[in-house]
Amino acid sequence: MSRKLLFFLCCIILSAGLFVVAWLPAGAQEENSPSWRFGVIESYESPEHADRLNVGWTRIPFNWAEIQQGGPQTWTARVSDEQIKAEKAAGRLPVGLLIGIPEWARDESRLPAGLWLSHDNPNNLWANFVREGVSRYQGDIDHWIIWNEPDIGDTEIAHTWDGTVADFAQLQRTAYRVAKETNPDAVLHLAAFTYWADYYAGTEQYMARLLDNIRTDPQAAQYNFYFDVATAHLYFQPNQIHDLLNLFTSIMRERGLGQPIWLVETNAPPKDDPAWPVPNWTLSVTQNEQATFIPQALAAALAAGAERVAVYKLIDTEQDRLANPEPFGLVRQDGSERPAFATYRIAIDYLSEAYRAERERWNEVGQIRVDQPDRTISVLFARLPQWQQAQVTATDDTAVLVDMWGTKEVITPTMGIYSIDLPPARCSQSIGDYCMIGGPTYYLVQSADVAPPTATPMATATPTPTILPTFAPTSKATDPPLATPAIQVTSPSELASLPEETAGPALAGTETPNQEIQALELPGYWMIAGGVIVIMLLGTIFVATRRRF
């Protein structure tokens, strides 16, 4: 074989390789840095799976009742220092959760002894615990969530807080002052609230009452009203996620507070996994519906202005079976992945670089536009158990349609419109006139048609959802519950009564990490690669023919 012929054959092989690489899923083409926006709870339970997801943050519980069960001189954490450092080394931001009271530290009201003393008084035992935790993990853990769902009443199994709203404001105030003095880089999160506890009680939302109490403190403004980030736990319904995140945000904005909000827990656990069947389920979800829920929930959260989102949780453990009625893990206890693991991985690939998102259509079709620096992605799915069609205005001559498993297809518009046929939702659980979880999700990827804005007003919708009770997951058998029951909007008329949405909120972060921007999979790539292959093939034939004759 001549050198020329060998050269041309090598060119053909190289071109074919480039053609294949151009069509690999975005996350498979290169190892990008972890997505700072998306996380998974308890990633340290299976770091290799967290690496595969490419998540950029996690939550680690620090239950005071466990850690210092033997007294103030002890410190026995469930998660080791080595595990925490490994999370940090893997590019995942650890967020600590401080909760619980050991019996020796309770006063006669079952609150932390000395809670109302000054934060620097050695007899304020809660202050001492916060100081020890923040100091011990400084540099490895700088984000701290203070408590969890204090609004749940003492007759409920998920009850965690015995004090008043004023007592909880003092708990938050003390933690904030201590943490900031101990570690100036500390970021303090407000606890997540359930919403439904106050709904059933007919009382004003706990978050509103807490913030009103804090605002009476003459020093509150000096200390950022004692929190830097708000927190939410919302499950099962993409519609609920959007509406209640807007509600929590509006509670802050109405009081002149501009803190961002994180969706720290979300999921829709399945009932039909043979590895963990659920005979007495509360809301009907199949494994495939859990897989479709993930991208729908992420897009809905972004459209409501959530700065970060995490899925509860990474992997099922033996303790989970004692604490949770349903399997919340993206990974089964034996290490095998549920379908939702794959769809979360693809969603991270396509949604991580969002700077703005907007819910453009929300009737028989769910359509959420996610703007990114180099591309615009329309997240599309049917919300009824029949075929639907989404229509998206074209910004280019071609686009890439990606299903939720990562399979790509180049499509072209007709008269400036992309018409996307959407498969029906399985609809094993309906909510009002719509399916609780939509059908298979698609990403329509187009080149960006607008420049990133310098500022975008926050969404202002303040819905009044109706509740469907469900159980709440806990991370271990001894932990307080960390999940929020499902909340329902009962009818389309209730949705229609909401204020008109004009633009999605800007998604600026409390941090600005250096994140690699994924290149848009331009549909012209395959044409270029195909042309190169044809040219090289013709050249090879030409050389071979000359040698023969």
What pLDDT is recorded for position 448?
84
pLDDT at 59: 99
pLDDT tens track for 143-180: 999 999 999 988 888 899 999 999 999 999 999 999 99
pLDDT at 426 over 50: yes
pLDDT (tens digit, 9 = 90+) per residue, 412-425?
999 999 999 999 99
Supply the pLDDT for residue 517.
29
Over residues 256-274, the mean pLDDT reads 98
Where residue 539 falls among pLDDT bands split at 50, 70, 90?
A: low
Beta carbons of 443 and 377 less than 8 angstroms apart? yes
What's the average model confidence in pLDDT over 265-278?
Answer: 96
At residue 323 the predicted structure's pLDDT band, cuts being 50, 70 and 90, is confident
Percent of the chain predicted with pLDDT > 90 = 71
Distance of CA 212 to the CA centre of its chain: 28
Taking all residues of the chain, what is their mean pLDDT, rounded to a whole number?
Answer: 84
> pLDDT confidence of 321, banded at 50, 70, 90?
confident
The string of pLDDT tens digits covering residues 42-76 is 999 999 999 999 999 999 999 999 999 999 999 99
pLDDT beyond 90 at 23? no
Q: How far apart are CA 225 and CA 215, in angstroms?
A: 7
DSSP H or E segment with residue 211 = helix 206-215
Give the dihedral sign, CA 17/20/23/29. negative
pLDDT-based confidence at residue 101 (cuts at 50, 70, 90): very high
Q: Is the pLDDT of residue 475 over 90?
A: no
Answer with the residue of higher pLDDT: 520 or 335: 335
Confidence of residue 4 (pLDDT cuts 50, 70, 90): low
Cα separation values, 539 from 4, 14, 352, 533, 542, Å: 10, 15, 43, 10, 5
Say yes or no to pLDDT of 515 above 80: no
Confidence of residue 455 (pLDDT cuts 50, 70, 90): very low
Return the pLDDT at 458.
36
- Exposure string for 251-271, b = 16+ CB within 10 A, e = fewer: bbbeeebebbbbbbbbbbbbb
Locate 248 and state its tokens: 């929590």
Q: Pull the structure tokens for residue 207.
A: 């978050």
Confidence category of residue 494, pLDDT binned at 50, 70, 90: very low
User: How long is the chain?
Assistant: 549
Distance CA(253)–CA(258), nearest Å, equals 6
**Which pLDDT score is estimated for 424?**
99
- Give pTM, 2 decimals: 0.82
